[in-house]
Structure 1
């Protein structure tokens, strides 16, 4: 039941996993160029059965497993009918899961919102753009797509857990919360290191802690180049011929360069990059083991042979290509009896919905650890496999800094980023190059339900630890592999991070002030949590199916494809029009729409007028003080969009004299989507973050009391997430081996002595 893209895409996700989905609701309005709008709407509703009108609520919920209820922006009668459907579901003796989706919630009620305003509230927009220009929003409804992902995952968790308590079958997820969750995670790599969370052009603030990490002009376009450790930085300098300037000791450690000398390093690096073509730089990156990618246009991205190799596209009668799903499945031929299924639904706490699910976590950095941490926030036991000689790069972000001084403690333990991404997990250290360690891992597979890994394709297989080996020991195991481009194909060996995903998908080419000033999405690093959202949906869908059929499976997920799945409008438009304009805080159907200045330094308001009625309410607010309020040209959406530049210039003069928060409150009261373009500090200290309870505090051995962001779901009005810090390296090794595998202390001690457990 959807009135916006968030509910519609959630329904599409369930269709792609095999569910029978009936669609009820008004037409949805996408941020799509006119040429692509019809195609994008058809794509998001593909495979659903259209139910006309507003049927009897009892008929709607009869025989239904899950209700997606999203009524943002709909007319009051339809909203009221949606509440009747929810009540009818609750009246059943065995009610379906009801997932309520909204852009933003206050006191349990939705407030006027738009994809634009949820990003502004959440402090995501604050970090995108040039320091001396207006902040930039995520384009093409990307914020609504993220709500769809995590709303679908939350609903599948309830289906999987099948809670006995009726109230736990009511789930609510807000888009503002989801984006704030993203920001809360990524800023663990900024603020605790005394790096600001603010706009710094095409690079994240402070180069995200390790230099370089930015979009650079090449001789024929742009590339994204990222070195995330000292080895990669020195490999880049070697590829440059170890120039004289690089021999200065201040340029030796890329973390020091990021903190103190990035502008100076840019003066040397930018001209060198600009003297090479994008193709030359990509070849150099592959030869040197560096993460380099061209900033592809959307049209260039969809022509990449990798996607044809993986059969990623559907083709309509005219030959127009559209995304399918970002995963491919393999399974054992026969159903198996799963490990004793302990997820019983008997627990009354949301934090224990997945109690009994055991996860073997072979992932690192962000996308994989985020996927497993969400499961942990709902009660799953997550065993993080580590190696002291080849640690998760999250452990190498450095010690937190306070008042200019690093906190005490081992560097790999005193890192807030690792603490955020891996809170609540258990750590076991194994040297996977040792046969004894591999044998232990296979024994653990027998005791687990899920395996998650995001290594480069082939790494595990070369160790004799492929899905085939795991399934031979546990045919019911569900394995998720999250690689950059998929396990096979021309790009399967591609190295990269979120910025590389965004560059190869075409997304980065859409975020900037014009085609010559592309800033991209390196600050929020959207590719990682977007990949994790798709991973969660497919993984939880596989677990629901396993519970019903006994079949385990292997999910091969492409993180680049996951980004392309949330870009239906630009993908269609690029084929129809040949090009996609950089939106720059605009919407093809609505005006005024965007970020407008407010009184004070670098204070902005996000404003989205989505109907003529809302325009009338805005005009009434400004009547007598703004000439545009009575201008006949602006009375219709067509007129406002046609004269967008003039209208929004006049609007900006008016908003520039307004107190931001007073104006936001006045607009919301009149039913107009508005928000402050909030800084991180404003977001995290806000009343709505506190009331939604997706931020908690833990006591860490070295970091002391520190904040953590947990999964932004509410079951029966209650939050999830356990206030448990990340584990010390290998802290749970002995307990895991004795408790799960029954090893004796002497045997464990011998394995330690022989450096198997290291």
Structure 2
């Protein structure tokens, strides 16, 4: 990769956690990917566990397993060593045993107990699928997606909801478990209880849903299935997958300018001059179907290349729906060296890491010290003293800084009246069809969710005086986060080099679609564009002819934030050790590919990947089945060892007494026939009763929950997923906070998002010693408006 300048050189990822020792006990992707992240970041990882329970078979499973354990010292089921010996030298212990047998679970619990008995205990991160009353319940990737209301939003309205395929839900648990462990490792709390960290996959996915629904429900847009288009186009028209002459594309316009540019590209057709099509937010709310009837024929007449050229020329977010095999051949990945060969089969490529690291060539260290006292008595103070300059917007960047804020960091969000976070421009909340009172940029629930607990200053960074203010501020900060298009800050004299010249210990995180360099560096886009370019969208549908994608849950943003948090916290661990800062160049498309190892590998070993459509490659039944009532579904995952217990629950059903289904291979071969019989049986059952009966037998099961089901459930309340915050215009509002438990305590602070510029005077006075006269002059000149 080309270097920004001689002042900066590449930094090896494997140096960040140098000297850190991790013990991993895992049986699924949720534990194993967390361990892989620690390993690639430089920790010495020792792994204990059985063969991973993942959605892959044959050679694909073999290569995927090697990918998970690359760089680890691996111990399999040959024995169960003394727990005290296993944890004796560990700095961090990560434990996940959802698919392990009882002996492994007991041994893992003994390891946790042994860690707790140590005079100086390691950080212990327990990763479970779902927890009730402090204890895990039977769960897997399918059921955590169902419980959390992610699955409810994927698919066609008249068909079963769809799950995230290929263990994607488990990977999200892994990401946030790794980040939670690093947060505790960085804080190094003296309080022994806070060294015990608990992460549940169901909580993580519910956190995602809670954040993204802030762009739906408060605006009276439902959270439900609406095919390839999210309900109400997620607020601004268009936002959908469209068929074109030679395939499918994702096309998204997220503001008035982009909508106007699209209409101009179409030749400003007569229909577009109707007043009802003027505002894309009104179109999204009231006229999307009619607009589709005009837009779809025009798109269908274009090729993918023509639409991509149109997008580049007019600054629109357009991307082809690529297959996994097509995605791997993208020139951008070769440019960045993102893919590498398998250790046993060099012709099979897989993901490395989604970031490049740089540091100052001079080796300079900073003068600002963040004193890690370890005296915190509660999770919301773990990172107290850390100060973050937040130059990010929309979701992925603000989510990253929001998590730091939930843990006690001071986050200073920088905007300007002429260039606000577009999260402020989603429109006012609506209640009973009427907009709430207040300025549009303040009365927006989406911004309140993504930026709760932060401080707001207004600075025009395009003005030289504003640039100087930010450079002065960075001397007082530890972290800078931005997700602008590559080069935007550098053109303003606010590059990593500019910041590091003033504060060599600063850690800067740049989150872009494809990375700071390469053929796609200028690509514009959102989560749907990331998903299309990564190949993920091609895997989500009912079959290859009915691809619906995942525009509603918009997985690309929180997935990128999880990767960003992990590498950012690791860089801060290194800074504490060395005093040196770093620049993290993260590609959000690559971050999605990192959680798709099995389909990446399968795409190279097999001629075609079937769209999973709720099925699992290794066992059946697996999927969403109807229950009594309208649009009520149960998520059911019956592994081979569960079959006899499942038959006992369904003893009165005809399929239960058929000896044909006792053969596991036959269940997979004839899954369609078997699952049709199960659907006929489940359709006469009450959903809640059925879930309770299945869980009692140790079978992973869950209601496919709507947002209302999830948010009002007893488990969501028990897990304290939300806090109530007062807001000047929105009133008392629930916001979702990072769902990590430290010593059984929840993280998060009950603070709303700031009003625009509310903290400008205090921040400039307290941190830069600006007097009132100087602040007033800068405001009068428009620098601080």
Q: 1:527 aligns with which of 540, 543, 556?
A: 556
Please show how residues 202-601 of structure 1 align to structure 2 within 5 Å.
Answer: 202-316=228-342, 317-333=345-361, 334-601=363-630
Structure 1 contact 34–588 (Cα < 8 Å) conserved: no
Structure 2 contact 390–482 (Cα < 8 Å) conserved: yes
1:70 counterpart = 2:99: no
Aligned to 1:190: 216
SS where residue 31 of structure 2 aligns? helix
Aligned to 1:617: 645
SS where residue 418 of structure 2 aligns? coil
1:157 counterpart = 2:157: no
SS where residue 521 of structure 2 aligns? coil
Q: Return the alpha-carbon distance in structure 2 between the equivalents of residues 142 and 235 of structure 1.
A: 35
1:503, distance to aligned residue in structure 2 (A) = 0.4
What are the Cα deviations for residues 453-480 of structure 1, in whole angstroms up to 9, with x where unaligned?
0000000000011101111000000000
Q: 1:15 aligns with which of 33, 36, 39?
A: 39
1:452, distance to aligned residue in structure 2 (A) = 0.3
Aligned to 2:154: 128
1:416, distance to aligned residue in structure 2 (A) = 0.1
Please show how residues 104-115 of structure 1 align to structure 2 within 5 Å.
Answer: 104-115=130-141
SS where residue 100 of structure 1 aligns? strand
Q: 2:710 aligns with which of 683, 690, 706?
A: 683
1:638 counterpart = 2:662: no
Q: 2:173 aligns with which of 147, 150, 167?
A: 147
1:33, distance to aligned residue in structure 2 (A) = 4.7
Structure 2 contact 366–503 (Cα < 8 Å) conserved: no
Q: Return the alpha-carbon distance in structure 1 between the equivalents of residues 525 and 346 of structure 2.
A: 35
What are the Cα deviations for residues 165-223 of structure 1, in whole angstroms up to 9, with x where unaligned?
10000000000000000000000000000000000000111100100000000111100
SS where residue 127 of structure 2 aligns? strand
Task: Provide the aligned C-alpha RMSD in A.
Answer: 0.8
1:73, distance to aligned residue in structure 2 (A) = 2.2
Distance 1:33-1:295 versus aligned 2 partners, 3 A rule:
farther
Aligned to 1:47: 71
Q: Return the alpha-carbon distance in structure 1 between the equivalents of residues 724 and 715 of structure 2.
A: 17
Structure 2 contact 186–569 (Cα < 8 Å) conserved: yes
Q: 1:650 aligns with which of 666, 669, 677?
A: 677
Structure 1 contact 335–549 (Cα < 8 Å) conserved: no
Structure 2 contact 366–506 (Cα < 8 Å) conserved: no
Q: Return the alpha-carbon distance in structure 1 between the equivalents of residues 608 and 584 of structure 2.
A: 33
Q: Return the alpha-carbon distance in structure 2 between the equivalents of residues 751 and 464 of structure 1.
A: 19
Distance 1:476-1:606 versus aligned 2 partners, 3 A rule:
same
Q: Return the alpha-carbon distance in structure 1 between the equivalents of residues 60 and 750 of structure 2.
A: 46
Q: Return the alpha-carbon distance in structure 1 between the equivalents of residues 103 and 553 of structure 2.
A: 38
What are the Cα deviations for residues 89-114 of structure 1, in whole angstroms up to 9, with x where unaligned?
11111100000000000011000001
What are the Cα deviations for residues 571-594 of structure 1, in whole angstroms up to 9, with x where unaligned?
011111132110000001110000
Q: Return the alpha-carbon distance in structure 1 between the equivalents of residues 119 and 377 of structure 2.
A: 18
Q: Return the alpha-carbon distance in structure 2 between the equivalents of residues 31 and 388 of structure 1.
A: 49
Structure 1 contact 6–144 (Cα < 8 Å) conserved: yes
SS where residue 184 of structure 2 aligns? helix
1:83 counterpart = 2:112: no
Structure 2 contact 240–252 (Cα < 8 Å) conserved: yes
What are the Cα deviations for residues 265-314 of structure 1, in whole angstroms up to 9, with x where unaligned?
00000111001111111111111110000001110000000000000011
Please show how residues 666-745 of structure 1 align to structure 2 within 5 Å.
Answer: 666-745=693-772
What are the Cα deviations for residues 573-627 of structure 1, in whole angstroms up to 9, with x where unaligned?
1111132110000001110000000000000000001123x1100101111x211
After the TM superposition, which of the residue ranges 312-321 and 734-743 deviates more from structure 2?
312-321
Q: Return the alpha-carbon distance in structure 2 between the equivalents of residues 204 and 56 of structure 1.
A: 52
1:659, distance to aligned residue in structure 2 (A) = 0.2
Q: Return the alpha-carbon distance in structure 2 between the equivalents of residues 335 and 593 of structure 1.
A: 55
Unaligned 5+ segments in structure 2 are: 1-24
SS where residue 393 of structure 2 aligns? coil
What are the Cα deviations for residues 235-285 of structure 1, in whole angstroms up to 9, with x where unaligned?
000000000000000000000000000001000001110011111111111
Q: Return the alpha-carbon distance in structure 2 between the equivalents of residues 629 and 73 of structure 1.
A: 24
Q: Return the alpha-carbon distance in structure 2 between the equivalents of residues 188 and 337 of structure 1.
A: 39
1:63, distance to aligned residue in structure 2 (A) = 1.5
Query: How many pairs does the alignment contain?
Result: 756
After the TM superposition, which of the residue ranges 748-757 and 153-162 deviates more from structure 2?
748-757
SS where residue 764 of structure 2 aligns? helix
Structure 1 contact 33–569 (Cα < 8 Å) conserved: no
1:338, distance to aligned residue in structure 2 (A) = 4.8
Instruction: Extract structure 1 runs of 4+ deviating beyond 2 A.
Output: none
Q: Return the alpha-carbon distance in structure 1 between the equivalents of residues 646 and 348 of structure 2.
A: 40
SS where residue 704 of structure 1 aligns? coil
SS where residue 44 of structure 2 aligns? coil
SS where residue 348 of structure 1 aligns? coil
Per the normalisation by structure 1, the TM-score is: 0.99
Q: Return the alpha-carbon distance in structure 1 between the equivalents of residues 196 and 181 of structure 2.
A: 9
After the TM superposition, which of the residue ranges 75-84 and 367-376 deviates more from structure 2?
75-84
Aligned to 1:29: 53
